[in-house]
């Protein structure tokens, strides 16, 4: 395979796997570096040579993205054309590699040190993910990182496999070429290795290029691996490196025989404009014009106290668009049924025509407006927008004139609520006392959040969340009880936050105007950022706002500009809570544009998975009047594993994702690992 032979002292493969998870570790930061210089000699253009419809580079990028462990996936290349391909498949190319670091004899440490030094962020770890190992998948990266984190004495880890030709049986010629001697000195052995049988020889491993991970500190010493290297034992064909033409032929043969599989590539095949040499089917513009929606599919997973619901749109050329349509209010199967009923109006259509498709769906269902129908249509619109943006290689916000911002402030939603009603499934501390509330307030500040939202929570051995609007309906009658509970709750939070994070209280549908105003009077001295109130009568909500000393936020249960307009005209809200996944991105933007004409800011309603958070963040980057974005911090412990990229949060602000489409993909294997309804 062209790799040099190395002798290493290795434990057995099974012994090298330590029972440690990424979440149990200290969560060091890591960057994936994909080298892709343009000057390959033995296999010209090998990094972008197509295999099964995509360039080799695509599989390395997708593997790194799908592993879910990297803060960035960066391609190092000296070629702008390779950089264009890399960006198409979702990687970043912040700068080109200098030509002197891209020769056939340039050592890795040169481009590696150059790249790490130029990146503005400093990472604890780096992984070299080479394009020439197409059968290495995201699981290999996760296994490797877990192993390195579980081997504190190691500076690095690199992939190895058992040698097929033992160096003990290798010889080198003497200077005259007439005699030879063993490659390895064996004079100390009773029986020389070259005279013994293979089973009697010590195990020797040869490095392959499937994976290299190291602590970045080693680079300062002029090496990419440091002094102590841990072995990563590749499995199956993970170690196959395409370095010769025969290697490429072997890869094609393995695929044809079904003996090996490639990582899934969600994006459509890249091709240079004009069908230049090396093109992989169609240019983006031609591909978009010829593509048609082939299917719509609804997928569920059990997210603890409710299911997460996703919509997957697939085109006839294999491109996938995602959206989320989570509805925890008793209608998951109803949503799936509506999507199934609407699918014939979408399948076979050009996915770029999102507005035309939206109006076709709206007009076909206008006698059943809003609610589950609106959520299904919004999900279809969002999945098609993801497709459209991926084809064009841009984030969705660029389709709407963005970005208007690079970051958006966050507030911690259901703060305390989740630890009262779902602490077991989220594996968070139970809210058993008001001291627990104060401690949670300290945690809010420690994690950088400047605002948090809670509900009517009563701590205790059996903590309660009072929501009479979804149950008994006697909220206003119990307004005094609700106000007293909130005063006790906010006093405890204030003790913990020290005033460094502002509270938001969500009353949902619990109270009529009389009860709302009773609560407003009780909470007027707590410095609320706003009070969330849901009322289906614009005049009633306007009355609350007019008499309230606290800003009023509302609208999460409204659909489309038609629903919002009477509330805005009545002056019923200071902040519009717009649900982007329930309305659809474009329709939600129309709401924001309408709200802006009334000088009203928007705070997206968002208590779902990371996919919805990415959609909401992109929406904030497409409008001028985003106030703050909701996010649930407490959730099921495997939430990060469900997506290829996790939200980048720093000091309470979310960086708007900039990858194609929503900038994130779902990991379907993880989704299937958590079926809903539960099978047992």
CATH of the domain at 89: 3.90.550.10
- Regarding whether 294 and 171 lie in a shared domain, the answer is no
Residue 87, domain member (yes or no): yes
- Regarding whether 416 and 373 lie in a shared domain, the answer is no
Query: 214 near 226, Cβ under 8 Å?
Result: yes
Query: 634 near 615, Cβ under 8 Å?
Result: no
- Residues 498-513 pLDDT 10s: 999 999 999 999 999 9
Residue 576, domain member (yes or no): yes
pLDDT above 90: residue 330:
no
Residue 639, domain member (yes or no): yes
pLDDT at 279: 40
pLDDT above 50: residue 600:
yes
pLDDT at 18: 35
- Regarding whether 211 and 198 lie in a shared domain, the answer is no
Model-level pTM?
Answer: 0.64
- Regarding whether 300 and 215 lie in a shared domain, the answer is no
- Regarding whether 617 and 469 lie in a shared domain, the answer is yes
Q: How far apart are CA 423 and CA 194, in angstroms?
A: 64
| Number of domains the chain contains | 4
- Regarding whether 442 and 378 lie in a shared domain, the answer is no
- Regarding whether 298 and 223 lie in a shared domain, the answer is no
Find the CATH number of the domain harbouring 528.
3.20.20.120
pLDDT at 249: 87
Q: Is 370 left (phi over 0), alpha (psi -120 to 50) or beta?
A: left
pLDDT above 50: residue 275:
no
pLDDT above 80: residue 272:
no
677 preceded by a cis bond (ω within 30 of 0): yes
CB neighbour class for 627 (10 Å; exposed up to 12, middle 13-18, buried from 19):
buried
Name, in order, each residue with C-beta under 8 angstroms of 217's C-beta and a sequence gap of 6 or more: 155, 226
Residue 116, domain member (yes or no): yes
- Residues 89-116 pLDDT 10s: 999 999 999 888 888 788 999 999 999 9
132 half-sphere exposure, CB direction, 13 A CA radius: 21
For residues 143-167, give the mean pLDDT: 91
- Regarding whether 641 and 526 lie in a shared domain, the answer is yes
- Regarding whether 413 and 378 lie in a shared domain, the answer is no
Residue 657, domain member (yes or no): no
CB crowding 611-620: b at 16 or more within 10 Å, else e: bbbbbbbbbb
Residue 510, domain member (yes or no): yes
pLDDT at 1: 36
Q: Which of 45-54, 229-238, 548-557, 558-567 has the lowest mean pLDDT?
A: 45-54
What pLDDT band is residue 41 in, cutting at 50, 70 and 90? low
Residue 79 φ/ψ, nearest 5 degrees: -120, 125
Q: Is 369 left (phi over 0), alpha (psi -120 to 50) or beta?
A: beta
Q: Of the spans 34-43, 271-280, 578-587, which averages the highest pLDDT? A: 578-587
Q: How far apart are CA 325 and CA 157, in angstroms?
A: 41
Instruction: Concatenate the DSSP letters of all residues of 10-75 into one string.
Output: ---HHHH--S--TTTS----EEEEEE--S--SSSTTGGG-EETTEEHHHHHHHHHHHH---SEEEE
Residue 677, domain member (yes or no): no
- Regarding whether 409 and 388 lie in a shared domain, the answer is no
Residue 8, domain member (yes or no): no
pLDDT at 215: 97
pLDDT above 80: residue 617:
yes
- Residues 218-229 pLDDT 10s: 999 999 999 999
For residues 349-365, give the mean pLDDT: 95
Q: How far apart are CA 251 and CA 13, in angstroms?
A: 25
CB crowding 51-66: b at 16 or more within 10 Å, else e: beebbbbbbbbbbbbb
- Regarding whether 148 and 208 lie in a shared domain, the answer is yes
Query: 297 near 82, Cβ under 8 Å?
Result: no
- Residues 115-141 pLDDT 10s: 999 999 999 999 999 999 999 999 999
Find the CATH number of the domain harbouring 373.
3.30.390.10
- Regarding whether 145 and 251 lie in a shared domain, the answer is yes
Mean pLDDT of the chain: 90
Token pair for 218: 């080693």
pLDDT above 80: residue 347:
yes
Q: How far apart are CA 568 and CA 598, in angstroms?
A: 7
pLDDT above 60: residue 374:
yes
For residues 55-69, give the mean pLDDT: 95
Q: Domain range spanning residue 230?
A: 13-163+204-256
Percent share of the chain, pLDDT over 70? 92
């Amino acid at each position: 395979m062209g790799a040099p032979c190395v002798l290493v002292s290795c434990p057995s493969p099974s012994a090298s796997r330590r029972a440690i998870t990424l979440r149990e570790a200290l969560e060091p930061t890591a960057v994936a570096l994909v080298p892709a210089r343009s000057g390959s000699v033995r296999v010209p253009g090998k990094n972008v040579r197509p295999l099964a419809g995509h360039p080799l580079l695509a599989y390395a990028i997708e593997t790194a993205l799908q592993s879910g462990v990297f803060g960035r996936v960066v391609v190092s290349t000296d070629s702008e054309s390779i950089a264009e391909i890399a960006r198409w498949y979702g990687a970043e190319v912040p700068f080109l590699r200098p030509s002197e670091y891209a020769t056939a004899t340039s050592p890795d440490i040169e481009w590696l040190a150059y790249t790490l030094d130029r990146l503005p962020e400093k990472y604890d770890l780096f992984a070299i993910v080479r394009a020439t190992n197409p059968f290495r998948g995201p699981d290999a990266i996760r296994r490797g990182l877990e192993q390195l984190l579980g081997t504190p004495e190691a500076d690095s880890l690199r992939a190895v496999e058992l040698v097929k030709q033992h160096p003990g049986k290798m010889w080198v010629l003497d200077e005259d070429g007439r005699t030879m001697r063993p490659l390895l000195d064996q004079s100390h052995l009773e029986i020389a290795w070259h005279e013994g049988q293979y089973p009697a020889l010590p195990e020797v491993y040869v490095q392959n290029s499937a994976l290299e991970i190291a602590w970045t500190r080693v680079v300062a010493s002029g090496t990419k691996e440091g002094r102590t290297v841990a072995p990563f034992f590749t499995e199956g064909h993970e170690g196959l490196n395409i370095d010769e033409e025969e290697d490429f032929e072997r890869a094609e043969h393995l695929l044809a025989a079904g003996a090996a599989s490639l990582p899934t590539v969600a994006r459509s095949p890249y091709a240079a404009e004009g069908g230049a040499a090396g093109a992989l089917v169609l240019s983006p513009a031609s591909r978009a014009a010829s593509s048609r929606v082939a299917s719509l599919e609804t997928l569920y997973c059990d997210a603890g106290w409710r299911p997460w619901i996703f919509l997957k749109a697939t085109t006839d050329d294999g491109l996938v668009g995602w959206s989320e349509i989570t509805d925890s209010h008793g209608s998951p199967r109803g949503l799936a049924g509506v999507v199934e009923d609407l699918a014939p109006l979408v399948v076979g259509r050009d996915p770029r025509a999102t507005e035309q498709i939206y109006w076709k769906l709206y007009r076909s269902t206008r006698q059943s407006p809003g609610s589950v129908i609106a959520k299904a249509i919004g999900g279809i619109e969002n999945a098609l927008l993801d497709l459209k943006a991926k084809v064009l290689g841009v984030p969705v916000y660029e389709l709407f004139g963005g970005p208007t911002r690079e970051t958006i402030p966050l507030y911690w939603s259901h703060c305390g609520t989740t630890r009262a009603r779902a602490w077991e499934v989220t594996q968070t501390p139970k809210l058993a006392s008001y001291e627990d509330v104060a401690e949670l307030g300290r945690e809010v500040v420690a994690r950088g959040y400047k605002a948090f939202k809670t509900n009517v929570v009563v701590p205790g051995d059996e903590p309660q969340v009072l929501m009479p609007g979804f149950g008994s309906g006697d909220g206003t009658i119990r307004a005094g009880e609700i106000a007293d509970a909130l005063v006790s709750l906010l006093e405890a939070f204030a003790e913990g936050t020290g005033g460094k994070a502002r509270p938001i209280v969500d009353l949902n549908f619990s109270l009529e105007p009389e009860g709302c105003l009773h609560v407003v009077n009780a909470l007027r001295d707590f410095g609320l950022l706003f009070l969330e109130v849901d009322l289906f009568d614009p005049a009633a909500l306007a009355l609350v706002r007019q008499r309230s000393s606290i800003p009023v936020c509302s609208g999460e249960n409204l659909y489309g500009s038609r629903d919002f307009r009477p509330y805005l005209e009545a002056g019923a809200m200071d902040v519009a809570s717009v649900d982007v996944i329930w309305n659809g991105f474009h329709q939600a933007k129309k709401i924001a544009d309408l709200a802006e004409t009334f000088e009203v800011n928007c705070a997206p309603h968002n208590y779902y998975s990371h996919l919805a958070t990415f959609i909401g963040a992109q929406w904030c980057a497409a409008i001028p009047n985003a106030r703050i974005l909701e996010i649930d911090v407490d959730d099921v412990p495997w939430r990060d594993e469900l997506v290829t990229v996790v939200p980048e949060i720093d000091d309470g602000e979310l960086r708007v994702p900039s990858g194609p489409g929503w900038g994130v993909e779902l990991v379907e294997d993880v989704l299937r690992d958590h079926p809903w309804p539960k099978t047992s």
